[in-house]
Amino acid sequence: MNIYEKIDEMSKDEKNTIKHIISKKLLNMFLTGEFKSEKDFSKECFVSEATVTRFAKETGCSGYRELIFKLKLEYEKTILKAKEEIKKNKINKELETIKSMNNWVNQSKSFLDSLIKNILLQKKIKILSSWQNLDSVSYFQKVLQEQNISSQVVKIELDYLDLESYFDDNKCIKLIIISESDFKNLASLYIKKIINKKIKNTYLITTYFKFNKIYDNNYQNKHLLSFNYDDSHHVLRHFALINLFFYLNLKINKKLYK
């Protein structure tokens, strides 16, 4: 039985109030990693230093100093190791997420090849975006501008009553990007109507949830957001889309300047 286990066992003795208080305070101190001097600790427990020393001897230590020394060793073996493991797991999770985002982009080859081909052909694109994706769409718009490709961003939540009018131009590429599930139901109906019309040169990036809920499953020009640890948080999806648009930029550059 290590020192922590001994103190934990002593903390269960509720008949001895002083022993119970001291052991509980020591366990709390162990969890925080803030080990106090005997003087400060005795004041916190409202007992004398001699009482704390007697308690330490009951654990098999020569005194409070040895007790704290053993607690610190145990702390380094358990708490610090656990914290390092959590940190390591977090880093691994982040790396796996990035790798999964890259795989998601690579899996979209046919979708992206078609989109790139038509963008270069028409030199004009309208991007219909929900609010969650506007930052990443703004990056894509700058990329297009650098390639002298005309682009217009339409905010779905603000302009949903005029959505159909944005699809009148058959020589313009239409890219719809929707990732969150809480935008106006009326906007959903308009987008569904547009997608189901199968208007030429219209592409869709969305989530499985959103697609299965309101769109035609036979619709071909789609790429569904899907990567490990996607928790619907806009930050992760922002970086996934940035990754996708960066890939588009590389491909467009390659085709323009080959």
In a domain, 96, yes or no: no
Same domain, 76 and 190: no
Q: Does 44 reside within a domain?
A: yes
- Note the pLDDT of residue 62: 94
Q: Is 60 in the same domain as 117?
A: no
| pLDDT for the residue numbered 182 | 45
**pLDDT tens figures, 77-130:** 887 777 777 777 777 777 787 888 888 888 778 888 888 888 888 888 888 887
Does 120 share its domain with 229?
yes
Per 3-state DSSP, what percentage of the chain is helix, strand, and coil (rounded to 5)?
A: 65, 10, 25
Distance CA 243, CA 99 (A): 11
Residue 59 lies in a domain: yes
Order of all β-strands in the sheet with 202-207? 150-155, 124-129, 173-177, 202-207, 222-225
Q: Is the pTM of this model over 0.85?
A: no
Evaluate whether residue 15 is within a structural domain: yes
111 and 73 fall within a common domain = no
Q: Structurally, how many domains does the chain consist of? A: 2
Residue 180 maps to a domain: yes
How much is the pLDDT for 38?
93
Query: Whole-angstrom Cα distance, residue 65 to residue 121?
Result: 79
Give the range of the structural domain holding residue 65, as residue numbers without chain letter. Answer: 3-84
CA distances from 234 to 53, 108, 188, 254 (A): 55, 20, 19, 30
In a domain, residue 95? The reply is: no
Do 32 and 64 lie in one domain? The reply is yes
pLDDT in tens, 183-194: 455 455 556 666
Pair (199, 229) in one structural domain: yes
What is the pLDDT, as a whole number, of residue 186? 46
Judgement on whether residues 227 and 122 belong to the same structural domain of the protein = yes
Three-state DSSP class for residue 12:
coil
- CB–CB of 116/255 below 8 Å? yes
Q: What is the pLDDT of residue 74?
A: 86
Residue type (1 letter), 257: Y
Tokens encoding 152:
């217009």
Give the residue ranges of the chain where pLDDT is below 70: 157-170, 179-199, 208-220, 228-234, 255-258
Whether 45 is covered by a domain: the verdict is yes
Is residue 223 assigned to a domain? yes
Give the pLDDT of residue 202: 82
